[in-house]
Chains A and B, each alone.
Chain A
Amino acid sequence: MVNFAGWDMPVEYSSVLEEHRRVRQAVGLFDVSHMGKIEIRGPGAVDLVQNVTCNDAFRLSVGQIQYSALTYPEGTFVDDVTVHRLAEDHFLLVVNAANTDKDYQWISQENKFSARVENRSSAYAQFALQGPLAQAVLQKLAEWDLSQMKYYRFVRTGVKGLPTLVSRTGYTGEDGFEIYLEPAAAEALWMTLLEVGRSDEILPVGLGARNTLRLEAKMALYGNDIDHTTTVLEADLGWIVKFDKGSFIGRDALWKQQREGPARRLVGFEMVERGIAREHYPVTLGGSVVGEVTSGSYAPSLGKNIGLTYLPVKWNAVGTEFFVTIRNKPVKARVVPTPFYKRRKT
């Protein structure tokens, strides 16, 4: 067990590699109750969400979810978040556990719209059921016809008779769902999901495989790949920045960077020579240090050692070779296309 933002969480239940494979080939169950939940409601809710996030909340219909970011005036990350539109004037933001208090204070401080902002983290338990067999397993318990549910949508539905919110989202690069419910009922549902998933070889999955799965899918991790020093554009997340939606915090800085082009950008790489790149290992190019590894690991689905780093844009084309310093030795790496892993759509 490790301490993760105040939560005791297992790195692995059985084996990182086996848990990883199970999610890619069958189904895995994650307890992600640590994720923070901030609710924003009232007539000013949409204007507040629109002002503090860079994606366009006006385009979000009730029942829809959006990946977005809370941004500082500099265009850097307060946090990356998913925004759920629960009702016309009611939003749920799911945020990184370690950032929950900071995000809540930031949103409250910027609340010039008389919206009601609440930290509702302790009101929800949250599970993620991920993998090609996730739908089949969850359908054994869910009242809603999950085959009718699109990606990044949610419904309120009974799951084994319990009131839940089920979304088609995840952090693994696989198809899957996230289930939100009241904490008192969580343990029983966890056991039930493992029980009904047994014939599909379900496994509980810990933080270790959660990291390798998200890295293969090139999903950013706050605190590693993105933080208050990196802009949304540098993080290669320009698709969540909607300049045409009007003003929002960080717009001016991001617009300037968009016009001039960011000086660096987050890229994926694989090791050419033997070695595993890990976070904070120095990255050198042309003999000088140009940055550090932000995430790095052995990638179980690829059988390669991969990572992410910010490289100056003039040297970040696919195929560019550079060096990662591993225990004082330069080890060759190469920029590759991302995501590293993409699931086959059925």
Chain B
Amino acid sequence: MYPEDLLYSEEHEWISIQDHTGTIGITDYAQSELGDVVFVELPHVGDKLQAKEPFGSVESVKAVSEVYSPVSGEIVEVNDKLADKPEMINDDPYGNGWMVKVRLSDPAELEELFSAQEYEEYLAAKPEE
């Protein structure tokens, strides 16, 4: 459920790194808590992201949830397919459900993120709602 090669945030985003570009989405836990995703709002290419600041939102039938960036940087690509197929976030959160690609401005921020194992421990320690 939580691939080993990704890093995770407290706000339930994942990021995968290739060179100095990170691909960001929400975790399987986040999509299952939200339920059926019916709407996604994303930033534009060229927008600047700030670590721990919201960059977009994901809406299910019942709730709106902001998506926080795990890192700072500049958007280089946006998953436009989510506009017509927001359910890809439920069906494939780590694949077709990716949201944005970011050129990192401060790779040191990655050190603050969880590994897969740490994220699972973090979830396990979370009180039930």
Contacts and interface: CB of A to CB of B under 8 A. Distances in A.
A276 B35 contact: no
A11 B36 CA distance: 12
A307 interface: no
B6 interface: no
Interface in B10-52: 35-36, 38-39, 41
Contacts of A278: 64
A212 B57 contact: no
A141 interface: no
A275 interface: yes
A300 B86 CA distance: 13
A208 B38 CA distance: 13
B61 A274 contact: no
A15 B39 contact: no
Contacts of A327: 57
A297 interface: yes
Contacts of A275: 39, 41
Interface residues of B, number: 12
B35 to A, nearest CB: 6
A4 to B, nearest CB: 13
Nearest to A278: B64
Contacts of B60: 16
Interface residues of A, number: 18
A12 to B, nearest CB: 6
Contacts of A209: 61
Tell me if B's interface is mostly helix, strand, loop or mixed.
strand
Contacts of A310: none
A133 B59 CA distance: 31
Given A208-B35, A298-B39, A305-B39, A17 B61 contact: yes
Interface string A213-255: 0000000000000000000000000000000000000000000
B62 interface: yes
A15 B36 contact: yes
B39 A276 contact: yes
B83 interface: yes
Given A11-B62, A208-B62, A274-B83, A16 B57 contact: no
B61 A298 contact: yes
Interface in A49-97: none
Given A276-B39, A305-B39, A297 B64 contact: no
Nearest to A271: B39
B61 A208 contact: yes
Interface string B52-68: 00000101111010000
A16 B35 contact: yes
B38 A15 contact: no
A18 B38 CA distance: 13
A327 B38 CA distance: 17
Contact of A16 (B39, B41, B62, B83): B62
A305 B64 CA distance: 14
Closest 7 CB pairs of A and B: A298-B38, A16-B61, A17-B36, A208-B62, A276-B39, A276-B59, A15-B36
27 contacts: A11-B35, A11-B62, A12-B62, A15-B35, A15-B36, A16-B36, A16-B62, A17-B36, A18-B36, A208-B35, A208-B62, A209-B61, A212-B61, A274-B39, A274-B41, A274-B83, A275-B39, A275-B41, A276-B38, A276-B39, A276-B64, A278-B64, A298-B38, A298-B39, A298-B61, A300-B61, A305-B39
Interface of A: 11-12, 15-18, 208-209, 212, 274-276, 278, 297-298, 300, 305, 327
Interface of B: 35-36, 38-39, 41, 57, 59-62, 64, 83
Given A274-B41, A276-B64, 16 more contacts: A11-B35, A12-B62, A15-B35, A15-B36, A16-B60, A18-B36, A208-B35, A208-B61, A274-B39, A276-B39, A276-B59, A297-B61, A298-B38, A298-B59, A300-B61, A305-B39
